Amino acid sequence: MIPLSLVELDQTVLECKRMVNKRALLSAGAAVVPIPGLDITADVGLLLQLLPDINRKFGIAPAQVEEYDAQTKMMIFNLVSRMGTELAGRSITKRIVLQVLKKLGVKVTAKQAARYVPIIGSMISGGLSFTMMKMICNRHIRECYDLVEVTIEHRPQISLKPVEEPAVDKQIQQDD
């Protein structure tokens, strides 16, 4: 569910940043291992898990948005379009993750090159991997924050709770 207040929204940001730090450490660990391609594979895998998790924490994963009333859905879809969010409120696919990584091509190339410098190169590669993961995810958290903040500002006009099925429908389903 979408955070209902700025206090809840700030708490969600803290939870997401903790989650990002843990995964960024995993990314750095994979980058230290001197196997070509392992770090990129690990980064893609981590981002394919982490970015949707962040959307879910903010209550704007596509499956969550589908559960909201029509007015809320419309507002979220319009905000996603108007704000031009890259990842917030969208389905995260491997193609999208690769596009995000491609935008950071210089850092990825530097990370790959650094690994060929004995010992210190692995540490540099791990540091770049950690930084890159945090940068991508923190930008995503910011997009989600901005989107949900606008939604909270319009809260008096809309309901942010998922649509409940009428009690009659539930009774009919139980009888079947």
Query: pLDDT tens digits for 50-59?
Result: 999 999 999 9
Q: Report pLDDT for 16.
A: 94
Give the model's pLDDT for residue 53. Answer: 93
Let me know: does 12 contact 146? Beta carbons within 8 Å.
no
Residue keyed to tokens 């999208």:
96
Which residues make Cβ contacts (< 8 Å) with residue 142, sequence separation at least 6? none
Entry pTM: 0.73
**Residues β-bridged to residue 162:** 68
Q: List, for residues 101-134, the tens digit of each pLDDT value.
A: 777 664 555 555 555 555 666 667 777 888 888 8
Q: What is the mean pLDDT of residues 128-150?
A: 88
| Displacement of CA 176 from its chain's centroid (Å) | 39
Confidence category of residue 81, pLDDT binned at 50, 70, 90: confident
